[in-house]
Amino acid sequence: MSTASKPKPTTASKRKPTTTQQGLGWRHQQRAEQLRRRHHDGAACDWCGKPMYLDARRNWDHDPDKRASGTLHADHGAMTRAQAIRLGIPIPLPDRLLHGRCNQQRGDGVNDHLAASKRETPAVTADARLLMPWPWQA
């Protein structure tokens, strides 16, 4: 068994990662801005299939009692930050927007099978453990 190509961990990696190392640094923020500029209001969320709006108050997850709720989050669709960190590769830039709540629900990608928009038929079973009523009913 060969582990020759695996880089040795350095002492630096034991320090608390910066936002850049977490993939949330300046480049991430620039890309998030770019995604927002290119966003077409009403475009469907990849996760829940509901329309996304730059105006947080128009999004389904907006809660007037919660600060910053309803804002769109930049998300790594192809590979999550957690996956990249596990694989030890540079964290890719975000490539899409999701509702804030959808992004939280997606977590590090382990819940991808729950994405409503990826299903051709309703796949929710009676014994499924859900964090919220799903599919979403407005």
Instruction: Give the H or E element holding residue 38.
Output: helix 26-38
> Which one of residues 23, 32, 35, 45 is an interface residue with Zn ion (CB under 5 A)?
45
> Which one of residues 48, 91, 97, 116 is an interface residue with Zn ion (CB under 5 A)?
48
Q: Does 74 bind Zn ion (CB under 5 A)?
A: no
Instruction: Please report, as residue ranges, which positions from 4 to 43 form the binding site for Zn ion (by CB under 5 A).
Output: none
Total binding residues toward Zn ion, as defined by CB under 5 A: 5
> Which one of residues 23, 35, 47, 100 is an interface residue with Zn ion (CB under 5 A)?
47
Q: Does 102 bind Zn ion (CB under 5 A)?
A: yes
- Strands of the chain, DSSP E: 43-44, 51-52, 72-75, 96-99
- The owner of tokens 């640094």 is 25
Q: Would strands 51-52 and 43-44 be described as parallel, antiparallel, or unpaired?
A: antiparallel
